[in-house]
Chain A
Amino acid sequence: MIKLFKFITYILIFILIWWAIKFLSNTPDFILPGPKLVIISMFDNYYLLFPNALITFYEIIVGFILGTLLGLTTGIQLIISKNSRKLLLPFILLTQAIPIFALAPILTLWLGYGIWSKVIMTMIIIYFPITISFYEGLKRIDPMVVNLTNIMGATKLSGLFKVRIPFALPQLSSGLKLAAAFAPMGAVIGEWVGSSKGLGYLMLYASGRVQIDLMFSAIIVLAIFTVILYNIVSFITNQLTKWDPKSHLN
C-alpha cells in the first residue's frame, strides 16, 4: 500500500515538473505538449496505441525470454568449459562493441520487417548483461564449498544446479533487472529502422505528422510497460534471492 502511494506520488511530482516546465517556458504544443494534452491524446488515440503497443510488448517479451535463455545457457557453457571461455568471451564482447543502430538495418534486411528482427535486436541488447552477470556469479563460489560438495559425492550436474547456480542468483538478478530496463530499447530501435507496426513505428509516424502529443503518448505507454516489466522481474528475482540480505537493502 505504501509502495503504491509512493509510486503515485512520484508520478504526480513528474507530471507537476513537466507542467511547470511547459508553463514557465511557454513552449508551444508542437514542441512540448502539456500533460493534459498528452493524456487526452492517449484516450483519443487508443485505437492506434493499443494494437501497436501489443506488438511491441510481444516483441519485447519474446526477445527477453529468448535472450535470457541464451544468456543463461552461455553462462553455464562458459563456466563448464575452458575452451568455450576462450572461444565465446571475445564474441560476447563483440556483441557490445558493434553499435546497435548499425546492426538494426542489417537484421531488417536479413529477417524482414516482421517481429523477428526486433526480437533479435532485443536479444542482442540483453544478452551481454545477462551472460556476464550470470557467468561472474557462477565464478564467485567459494572454492571450499566446491571441495565440500565434491567430497560429499556431488555429480557435475547436481553441483551445478544445486549449489553453483543458486550462489549465482544474486548476481544474475542484477543482470536480469538491467535487461528488463534495456529490452524495450532493442525492440523500439528495430521498429525505427524498419517496420510497419509497433510503438517505435507509431513514434516515427506521429513525428512525421507533427503529432507530438501522440508521440509522447507512445513514449509514455512504452515507459509504463518498461516499469511494469522491471517490477515483475524484480519481484521474481527478489523471491529467488530472499536468503541473500545484500540483495534486499532498504
Chain B
Amino acid sequence: MINRQLLSVDGSLKIKNKKLLDDFSLIIEKGRWTTILGQSGVGKSTLLKLIAGLEIPGQFRGNIKLDSANHKIFSWMAQNDLLLPWLSVTKNVCLGQILRNEKLDHKKAEKLLKAVELENISIQLPDTLSVGMRQRVALARTLMEETEIVLMDEPFSSLDYITRSNIQNLSRKLLKNKTVIMVTHDPTEALLLSDNLLLIENQKLTKLELPNSRPMRSIKQKDFSEYYEKTINRLKQAYIVS
C-alpha cells in the first residue's frame, strides 16, 4: 500500500567543494518510518538538518515540498538526550510548551512518562537518571510535541546493547503510524525499525529491499540474516565507492 506523500526533497547538497548528495530525491510517506543509512560523513545528519530547516554547514540547491496543514511539523530526537539539566523531568518533557510560553500540560507529560516506562521521577533532575532513562525522557519529550514528522538523528547510538534494544522496541510501539525519518549507521537498527530503508551510496539515495512482513523482528531468524547480509554488503560497497 502506498501512503500519502508528505514530504519530498530533491536537489544537490555540498559542503565546501565536496558533493555529498548529487541530484538526489527523497520522498517521505505519511505514517511510515523511513531510515537513511550510511557510514559517517556521507551527509545523513546534514540532510536531516536540511529537512528540519536548520542551518547547515553547506549549500543546498533544490526543492523541499511539504504537504501538511499542521503548524507543528517537526520534532527532533538526537544522539544525546539534550535534556536541560536545571529542569525537572516533567518540565523537560514540556520543554516545547515552556519555550512557546504555553500552559504546561502536566497530565499529558505524566501519561507519556508512564508510556516510556518511567514513573515517580517527575520532579527529579536529569542528572540523577541513567543514560537509558534520560533517552526515554527525550522520547517522551519528542512525543509530547505531537508533530507531523519525527526526525531522529542516530537516537540510540550512545546506548548499551540491552538499553538500546529496549528503547528501540518502545520507540517502535509509541511511534507506530507516525511519520519518522531516522538516520543511522547501524544496519541492524535500520532493518528492525524501518518501513522504508534508503542507503546513501555514490552521492545518491538508493532504496533497499525489505521483507513484506513488518516489523522485521517478527520474521524468522534465517530471513533476517539474509536481509542483514544483503544490507551489510550494500553498505560495504557504498563505503568502497566513496
Most buried by A among B52, B74, B99: B99
- Chain B residues, CB < 8 A from A142: 80, 82
Residue numbers in A under 8 Å from B96 (CB-CB): 152-153
Chain A residue at minimum C-beta to C-beta distance from B52? A151
Interface majority SS on B: helix, strand, loop or mixed? loop
Chain A interface main SS type: helix
B232 at interface (Cβ–Cβ under 8 A)? no
Cβ contact within 8 Å between B78 and A148:
yes
Picked from A144, A151, A159, A244, the residue with its CB within 8 Å of the CB of B75 is A151
Q: Please, which residues of chain A bring their CB within 8 A of the CB of B76? A: 147-148, 151-152
Are B99 and A152 in touch, CB under 8 angstroms? yes
What total count of A-B pairs have CB within 8 Å?
Answer: 58
* A138-175 contact mask (Cβ, 8 Å, vs B): 1 or 0: 00001011011111111100110011001000000000
B window 70-124: CB within 8 A of A: 72, 74-76, 78, 80, 82, 84-86, 95-96, 98-101
Alpha-carbon gap, A122 to B98, bound state (A): 38
Q: With A147-B76, A151-B54 as known contacts, state yes or no: A166 contacts B84, CB within 8 Å.
A: yes
Shortest CB distance A145–B (Å) = 5
A209–B52 alpha-carbon span in the complex (Å):
74
User: B64 interface residue, CB < 8 Å from A?
Assistant: no
Q: Is the CB of B98 within 8 A of A162?
A: yes
Q: Given A148-B76, A244-B85, A245-B127 in contact, is the A153-B99 Cβ separation under 8 Å?
A: yes
The smallest beta-carbon distance between A155 and chain B, in angstroms, is 8
Docked-complex contact B100 and A158, CB < 8 angstroms: yes
Q: Is the CB of A243 within 8 A of B127?
A: yes
Is B145 positioned at the interface, with any CB of A under 8 Å from its CB?
yes
- CB within 8 Å of A: which residues of B? 49, 52-54, 72, 74-76, 78, 80, 82, 84-86, 95-96, 98-101, 125, 127, 145, 151
Q: A-side interface residues toward B, CB under 8 Å? A: 142, 144-145, 147-155, 158-159, 162-163, 166, 242-245
| A-B CB proximity, top 9 nearest | A154-B99, A243-B86, A152-B96, A151-B76, A243-B85, A158-B99, A153-B100, A147-B54, A148-B82
Extra 11 A-B pairs, beta carbons < 8 Å, given A144-B82, A145-B84: A147-B54, A150-B54, A152-B76, A158-B99, A158-B100, A162-B98, A166-B84, A242-B86, A243-B85, A243-B127, A245-B127
